[in-house]
Amino acid sequence: MRPTAALFALALAPLAQAQFPTGTISFERRASSVKSVLGELSVQTHIQIEAVPEINNEIVLVSVTNAPIETVLRGLAKTVEGEWKLQGSVLRLVVDKETRRKNERKELQKKALAIAEAIKERAKKSETTPGLTADGLITRLLQGIDPTVLADLGPNGRLVFSTDPNRLQLSFGAGATEQIDAFIKNHNANLPSAAEGIDKALSNLDQKQADAIKALTQNETKVIGQVRKGLLVVTKMSLGIMDMTQIQLKLYDSSGKTAFTGQSILSLKGDEMSQLISAATTKKKPETNAKSTPIEYSDDSKELDNSTKGMIMGNYGLHFSPELQVKLMNPTKSDPLSFSASDELLSYARSRGKSIIACVPDSAGGMSYASLTGGNMTVETVDRDLHAGKKMQILDESSIILIEPAHPALERSLRVDRVALETLLKRSQGKMIPSLDDMADYAKSSPDPSLGGVGQTYITLFVPGGSQQGLGGPTNWNMLRFYADLSPDSRNSLRQGAKLSLGSLSSIQRNCLESIVYSSNSGLSVARETKQEPQPFYMQIMGASTNIDYRDEPTEALPNGIPNDGFLDLAVSQEPFGFPIASNGNHNIGAMAVLDADELAIFKMLKEDKNFSQFASFMPKFGQMKVGSRELLNFTFHFSQDISSKQVLKDHHLPDNAQIYSENDLPADFQKLIGVKLDEFKKSPLGALSSLAALGGKGIRP
């Protein structure tokens, strides 16, 4: 072997074939990047230690006392699915590809087993229901689908199964058509009693309320004719603290019109959504003599917790000490996971009398229902969560406790870029509210905040208007990324009225557009003889999204993907917005940070509704607010003469010298717009349903 070849082989040899540094080390570092931790270990051990870029930005916590250096380094590598290699004089932490592939397969199998068990439980329950209901049909169709296919569905992903699949759809298992026919027969036979039951249940309501509910339950009283095609749409809805798998049944007649739709949720054991439903519907007996060891939180964590606790209950204004504010605005130096998430792991290790090394996922720094409403974490809670594999799981606890993310591959894909986050925070501080370009720059390298975790927490708390489109729902992150990839010339041309050919899109833009059209929050606009208003986000959540014919289903309307002969155009308009100032002088947070005419009209309607008087103390009081102006960038992707996708991005402008108004003395044009929106809401199904909700559903007879 030639000398150069021998040196090359030695440089790539695993460290297991060389000699680890000897001696012991005591070292503690709250959650920080691997790069910074290895830098400190290099100084303390007097050896050159580095990691490859794919691992450098992973976030780890290390707390060891008199531990062998070899054990510490091996443990650190294990938590990030890496391995050490000696390259010259440098110990380099590299990706262990085989371990990652093995763990990804194992994780997929685990998910598939959980899904199979959930479908099995659904089947047991449906056996007790006479006849084949829509929910029962959904269960039977799910039984014919390989659970591994469903397990591979990522956040906001969408799969469509069909009795007659095109290239974008998947096939059902055997017997799907027969099952659908059996359901139709049972449904039509029970129509008279179903209609009578609904009328009886709504008999105490006024006509407007009854009509609103009937619009949402029209399937129950509608005869199903001959069905040409059946679809089952499975979507992974990711809404921060709630992650759920939604199932939608769609049946079409021979003309392509929707004959029936039905919805259901596939609840997996242990997921956030199931726990919330269980907590709301189950009376839990208090544990007697249960051990409860408090977490030893740092002063910074206590202040952060006290400032944000009870956000759901109306605390929308935050205030931090100058010292903590500096740390929060510099996530590259004080990582978002170095506060409560670190305290909880360190307290757990101390309770066990052991050292700990953990790769901490960003989901551990997200908002939970318990934290928002004032729930308390204990060492015992941390222990249960770790052994249940909720967000993290124990790899080894023989000498040093080693912890990794419960879903390593997914968590790596959702890791927030700390440099991009810090840039966005400082821009937001300087302007009070970020521009569209600021948000687009951040979106290039960071995940959608609606997926939860560190991104959701920091955007909600410190970036007004960063992730919310008001009643339009969360900002479409794929649209934001599409916009980020447009060149300045393309943006200017679109503003001037030019059309951008879909055939000329970059690979990034095309991938973003495919996600816009075919992901879980997809929504196409269809030009019909009878004009249909686009369904706002809040009505989609209530299950009132448009399903008139096959063109409302993306995989049917665009079965061959995005057409190259389509085009994009842009219309720009302006509207005012309110920027509430909290009683402590700071801006509000989350959805209450930026209010347009829609939100202000909704709150006005609820305050004026006598049925809501009992909730008056919970209604937000904005007092004073600055008024700014924002551009509405209305993008329309034209796919054919009658099929398009409409997306809106908002660019906020709030001058430093913006005038402050009281909530009841806003500028005349703003008040007029609020009045128009108020009239629209009162006439909409939302107006009827909101007053009904205030009565707790008491007007509906069981």
CA distances from residue 63 to 26, 47, 342, 450 in whole angstroms, order as listed: 8, 19, 10, 32
Min mean pLDDT across 437-441, 464-468, 529-533 is at 529-533
Could you state, in order of their start, the residue ranges of all structural domains in the chain? 3-99, 105-278, 299-355+362-413, 463-474+487-694
pLDDT at 288: 55
Mean pLDDT lowest among 41-45, 271-275, 276-280, 318-322: 276-280
**Pairing outcome for strands 158-162 and 170-171:** parallel
Q: Is pLDDT larger for residue 207 or for residue 346? A: 346
Across the chain, mean pLDDT equals 85
The torsion region of residue 470 among left (phi > 0), alpha (psi -120 to 50) and beta comes to left
CATH domain 3-99 topology? Phage tail protein beta-alpha-beta fold (3.55.50)
Greater confidence, 367 or 71? 71
Of 534-548, 570-584, 663-677, give the lowest mean pLDDT range: 534-548
* Mean pLDDT in residue range 636-665: 92
pLDDT of residue 378: 92
What is the pLDDT at residue 534? 52
Q: Please tell me the predicted confidence (pLDDT) of residue 618.
A: 64
Distances (CA, A) of 519 to 429, 524, 543, 638: 33, 12, 17, 18
Please tell me the predicted confidence (pLDDT) of residue 543: 46
Neighbours of 280 (CB within 10 A): 7
Of the chain, the percentage scoring pLDDT greater than 70 comes to 81
Strand partners, 631: 574, 651
Looking at per-residue pLDDT, the higher value among 428 and 496 belongs to 496
Q: What is the pLDDT of residue 467?
A: 77
| C-alpha to C-alpha distance for 283 and 270, rounded to whole angstroms | 17
Higher pLDDT residue, 591 or 639? 639
Higher pLDDT, 428 or 561: 561
Q: Give me the pLDDT at residue 474, please.
A: 80
Cβ atoms within 10 A of the Cβ of 395, count? 16
pLDDT band of residue 650 (cuts 50, 70, 90) is: very high
Mean pLDDT lowest for which of 10-24, 73-87, 279-293, 583-597?
Answer: 10-24
More confident residue, 318 or 617: 318
Amino acid 623: pLDDT:
76
The yes-or-no verdict on residue 540 having pLDDT over 60 is: no
Q: What is the mean pLDDT of residues 206-221?
A: 69
Residue 16 has pLDDT above 60, yes or no: no
- What is the average per-residue pLDDT within 202-217? 70
CA distance 476 to 478: 6
Q: What is the mean pLDDT of residues 602-609?
A: 82
- Asked whether the predicted pLDDT for residue 15 surpasses 60, the reply is no
Percent of the residues in the chain that have a pLDDT greater than 90, as a whole number: 60
* Confidence class for position 312, pLDDT limits 50, 70, 90: very low
Q: How confident is the model at residue 537 (pLDDT cuts 50, 70, 90)?
A: very low
Q: Looking at the predicted structure, is the pLDDT value of residue 191 above 80?
A: yes
Whether the per-residue pLDDT at 685 is higher than 70: the answer is no
Residue 687's pLDDT is 60
Query: What confidence tens digit (pLDDT) does each residue in 175-187 have?
Result: 999 999 999 999 9
Neighbours of 71 (CB within 10 A): 17
Task: Please tell me the least confidently modeled range out of 70-79, 82-91, 211-220, 317-326.
Answer: 211-220
- Confidence class of residue 404 from pLDDT cuts 50, 70 and 90? very high
pLDDT band at 8 (very low <50, low <70, confident <90, very high): very low
Coil, strand or helix at 287:
coil
What pLDDT sits at residue 495?
97
Strand order in the sheet with 356-359: 24-33, 59-68, 356-359, 401-405, 392-396
Residue 257 has pLDDT above 80, yes or no: yes
pLDDT in tens, 82-135: 999 998 889 999 999 999 999 999 999 999 999 999 999 999 988 888 889 999
Position 77 scores a pLDDT of 97
Average pLDDT rounded to a whole number, residues 648-658: 91
Tell me which residue has tokens 């199903």: 224
Give the per-residue pLDDT at 62.
Answer: 98
Mean pLDDT confidence for 195-216: 70
- The mean per-residue pLDDT over the stretch 198-207 comes to 72
Stretch 448-459: mean pLDDT, rounded?
90
pLDDT of residue 5: 43
- CA distances for 683 relative to 190, 211, 414, 598, angstroms: 33, 12, 41, 14
What pLDDT does 698 receive? 44
Element (H, E) at 40: helix 34-45
**Which segment of 73-87, 238-252, 330-344 scores lowest on mean pLDDT?**
238-252
Contacts of 338 (CB under 8 A, 6+ apart): 30, 31, 32
